[in-house]
Amino acid sequence: MKPILHTLARLAVAGLIWAAPAATRAADVTNEYRLTAYPSYRLAEEWIGFGYIGIVAKPEGHYTSYYLGKGAFYTPEQWLQLWAGLIGVYTDSTISSNTLELRPFVGAKFIDMTERLKWRYFNWTRYELRLIDTLDTDSWKTISRVRSQFRLEAPLAGPEQAWTPKSWYVLGEIEPIWRSDTGKIDPLRVRLALGHIATPRVLVEFQYFAEFTQPSGSGLVWTNNIWRLNFKVSTSASVLKLAAGGFDD
């Protein structure tokens, strides 16, 4: 399994280098702002329950979305987590109908860490079903998506202090998202972030995403920036277990 995870880490770095210059930049790149929290708690020795709370504002899109979710993951091996959950999204739009979305998902996360430098890397692949109700007409739309996150995290401290309270870390990630209604990868997200382990129970991350979409269906275009402040809070998990968790909508 470790050779596979090392390969995934290399793919993540290669993707970060490739994605930005390979895509065209839109004339008007929009901005999206997210405030999210990921509370987690121990259910049993190998089970962790989690919640997801978030607010997303996109001024150029004239909407605000509110997220509320719940789920759990099971850790049969140190390098493997099996996830399932349900996310609800209410979108308040000022120019079109409001919507309500239910998003059940299942997935697997493969995790490892280098011994000397304490770099962490993972791949999280999941399937999600988006059930979207347009509230003005009560019409439903169904979209399946397959998402695969390739992430590399590096502590900004020596091996002895890495992943300890008051320390910092950085991360880089690429996430292609395939959707069933178009049969294409749309969007592709590239993320960079700075994280701080405030206490053994609280992690704070300042994240930036470059989002590439296919507005004309003929290729990826850089159309959106995402700015996110994310809190990971645990009632019982260790720092490494808390860092290994986390949810992205």
Q: What is the pLDDT of residues 74-95, one digit of tens each?
A: 999 989 999 999 999 999 999 9
pLDDT in tens, 107-163: 999 999 888 889 998 899 999 999 999 999 999 999 999 999 999 999 999 988 999
Report pLDDT for 23. 62
Q: pLDDT category, 56, cuts 50, 70, 90?
A: very high
In-domain check, residue 30:
yes
Q: What is the CATH number for 194?
A: 2.40.160
Range of the domain at 58: 2-244
Q: pLDDT category, 19, cuts 50, 70, 90?
A: low
Lowest average pLDDT, out of 8-12, 154-158, 184-188, 208-212, goes to: 8-12
Report pLDDT for 22. 57
In-domain check, residue 72:
yes
Structure tokens at 222: 């850089």
pTM over 0.75: yes
| Mean of per-residue pLDDT scores for the chain | 89
Structure tokens at 231: 């809190």
In-domain check, residue 249:
no
Q: Is the peptide bond before 39 cis (omega within 30 degrees of 0)?
A: no
Total tally of structural domains belonging to the chain: 1
Strand partners, 125: 108, 148
In-domain check, residue 26:
yes
In-domain check, residue 22:
yes
In-domain check, residue 50:
yes
In-domain check, residue 158:
yes
In-domain check, residue 36:
yes
Report pLDDT for 24. 77
Report pLDDT for 241. 67
